Amino acid sequence: MITHAAFLRASTSLVALAAVIAASGAMAQAQPRRPAAPTPAAQLPQLARQGAPVSLDEITVTASKQEERAIDALASVSVMSRTDLRALAPQRLGSAVNMIPGVATQENPNDPATAINIRGLQDFGRVAVTVDGARQNFQRSGHNANGSFFLDPAFIRSIDVTRGPVANVYGSGAIGGVVSFETVDPRDILRPGERAAAEIGATGVFSRQTGWYGNVIGAARPTDWAAGLLGLSFRSLNGYRDGNGNRILDSGQDLKSGLGKLVLTPGDGHELKLGGQYQRYDFSNGLGTTGSPRRDNEVVTQNYTGQYSFSRPDLPWLNLKASAYSTKTETDQTQLSGTGAALGAKRFFDIETKGVDIQNTMKFDLGAAALNLSYGADWFEDRVRTGDPVGNGDETTPSGKRSVYGGFVQSHVKYGIVDVIGALRYDSYELSGGRTSSDGNRLSPKLTIGVTPLQGLQAYGTYAEGYRAPSITETLVDGLHPAPARFAFRPNPNLKPEIGKTLEAGLNLKYDNVLQAGDRFRGKVAVFRNEVTNYIDGVFVDPGRPCGSGGNSCDDAFYTYQNVAKARLTGVEAEFAYDAGRWFASIAGSSVRGDNRTTDQPLQSIYPDKLILGAGLRLFEEKLTLGGRVTMVDEQKRLPRAALATASKAYALVDLYAEYKITPDARAFVTLENVADVRYKRYRDGGYSPGFVGKIGFSTRFGT
């Protein structure tokens, strides 16, 4: 177990290592070099190609709502590109997202939903998750994560992650951070000059899990100002076995999904995107017992977005973006076990979120300084509707409505080697359901100062605050827990919103031509402390005989959500990548500690330390890529006394992969995951993960 002192030593060592690398890079670039022959652009290594698990040269927008490269953002930002995702060929999102430092997922083998944890914060919107700008606020309470979403990896073009409330301009509630998923659009399929193109891919799965998944995407550009896209995806996976060969019940899933987009550019600087995504998941789960009845699940999601932007170099004061969206998740369940009215009983959980967002950026050239002034407003509304005629699902996930709205103003001044970012965000909310209602509002500041003392080395410090309104469930939960422990759930309309106050310091490292002409080194390191006041947590109150000890011992026990006076989270994150064309290497890791300072107990939501090492080769004029990855995850036993049963063990995984580019548009690949067939269970997951799983696949693109 890593002690807090050891954690602080590790943090200091990482920062020191980053400083040494920075100084070495600066010295190396300062040394006179013999002029090298020009390297053809096609041969220049790029961190966005396969092999670099986190693409620091990719574009991010979540930190400041302005397009910039992740390596240049004065925040702890990571981006995974479509190239990275295609190399992984993930069956589930967790396989990709868990490679990002400071980020973890909670998943169950018998449920395709994913919950994201950033820096020890998750559930009820602490991490804002968007798909093409549309918020994903689905939530169903039970013995599972209280905040999850459904998304097919087949259509994702990028995953953009900003850690911490530094992204408060992005929207309300994100005291943990923001995860933005963007889906493919016509420019990802069409080459310049083509009027029509199609992309087809299929992957077969073997060993501890069997099945297949694939997709087809077609795109057309009938005119120079209009392009469209249609995509279909299918998944059929059988249940898997863990590293000991034990079958994991209900771990197979079937999925059908579709994506459509229309992109219009009717005039210089104008762009309008209209998109829609449909997904249907079919699966079963539950143990078939009284406390955990077995149910058949049909989940349908619908995501509709409209995005308009206008930007032209001759109008620096007008860089407008506006969007509107509607996303809906409907879960219909049919009970497959039990007797009487319970057998065949149906229940449903539906949540619909609608929202709008508008912003503008004004750019000023002040001679020695440059100023970007951004401002905007946003609104979204959650409507929850649940029904469970023979159970209590509609009591633990109550129906209700919540409206959240706000606005922001942010200035970014660049003067010489100094960057100063200042922002203010106003948030307000209104919540109601049954006979209960609540509301609140607040102003949250942000200040970032960055300095670039040496070429390639940028240091920054940030103070940022975030504001999260209570969710519908936290406020309105009301009813009885199912037998045999029939204690009560009690609503709490007096819940106060959470406020996150974060101090963060970081380094950005960016060097080219370090060891040889054309190579690249990128690195980001951040240390942080997040003080969350009015932290909302579930509290079980049992003043009499312990509930479950027989008779009517549960009559005086109840569960409710309350404001914990203060929670503190501290940690360090780092990621480095080097690419020399013929070979590449990367390292990424994170360590987080969190405590409930009222009870002097650790927070249960903190995930264990992890370290990911990657390396590979490119051969035969870079047509063949061979790579491997080692993922090391520490044990997690630093838990509150009531949650010691959820402790997890340490494990290490080895993955191998190979890709051969048959043509510039056709590729064949093999990935071998968990080649040592390790039996392991990720912290807070609902079951053991798969043992050794192999995947072999092929994709091609053709256009005219």
Task: Quick: pLDDT tens for 431-487.
Answer: 988 778 889 999 999 999 999 999 999 999 999 999 999 998 889 888 777 766 778
The tens digit of pLDDT for each residue in 217-234 reads 999 999 999 999 999 999
- Least confident segment among 161-170, 254-263, 421-430, 561-570: 161-170
The two three-digit tokens of residue 397, written as one number: 């996930």
The tens digit of pLDDT for each residue in 231-245 reads 999 999 999 999 999
The tens digit of pLDDT for each residue in 528-585 reads 999 999 999 888 888 888 887 777 778 888 888 999 878 999 999 999 999 999 999 9
For residue 28, is pLDDT > 60? no
For residue 5, is pLDDT > 60? no
Residue that has been written with the tokens 């011992």 in this structure: 553
CA torsion sign, 186 to 192 to 198 to 202? negative
What percentage of residues in the chain have a pLDDT greater than 70?
A: 92
In 409-437, which positions are buried (b, 16+ CB within 10 angstroms) versus exposed (e)? ebbbbbeeeebbbebbbbbbbbbbbeebe
For residue 691, is pLDDT > 50? yes
Q: What is the DSSP letter of 369?
A: E
Per-domain residue ranges of the chain:
4-32+237-697
Which of these, 89, 40, 36, 80, lies nearest to 60 by C-alpha position? 80
Residue that has been written with the tokens 């064309």 in this structure: 581
The tens digit of pLDDT for each residue in 290-328 reads 778 899 999 999 999 999 999 999 999 999 999 999 999
- Least confident segment among 21-30, 155-164, 246-255, 444-453: 21-30
3-state percent breakdown (helix, strand, coil) of the chain, nearest 5:
10, 55, 35
Beta bridge partners of 295: 285, 335
- Which of the two residues, 97 and 553, has the higher pLDDT score? 97
The two three-digit tokens of residue 248, written as one number: 């994991």
Beta bridge partners of 577: 522, 586
545 Cβ neighbours under 8 A, 6+ residues apart: 551, 553
What percentage of residues in the chain have a pLDDT greater than 90?
A: 71
pLDDT of residue 7: 38
Q: Rounded to an integer, what distance in angstroms lies between the CA atom of residue 583 and that of residue 409?
A: 44
For residue 35, is pLDDT > 70? no
Specify the pairing of strand 666-673 against strand 651-663.
antiparallel
What kind and span of H or E run contains 472? helix 472-476
Q: Would you say 278 and 151 are in contact if contact means Cβ atoms under 8 Å apart?
A: no
pLDDT of residue 48: 44
pLDDT of residue 381: 95
The tens digit of pLDDT for each residue in 365-419 reads 998 999 999 999 999 999 999 998 887 777 788 889 999 999 999 999 999 999 9
Topology of the domain covering 4-32+237-697: Maltoporin; Chain A (2.40.170)
The two three-digit tokens of residue 117, written as one number: 């944890």
For residue 424, is pLDDT > 90? yes
The tens digit of pLDDT for each residue in 588-619 reads 999 999 999 888 999 999 999 999 999 999 99
State the pLDDT confidence band at 54, using cuts at 50, 70 and 90: low
For residue 518, is pLDDT > 80? yes
State the pLDDT confidence band at 50, using cuts at 50, 70 and 90: low
The tens digit of pLDDT for each residue in 637-668 reads 999 988 898 999 999 999 999 999 999 999 99
Q: Rounded to an integer, what distance in angstroms lies between the CA atom of residue 507 and that of residue 461?
A: 9
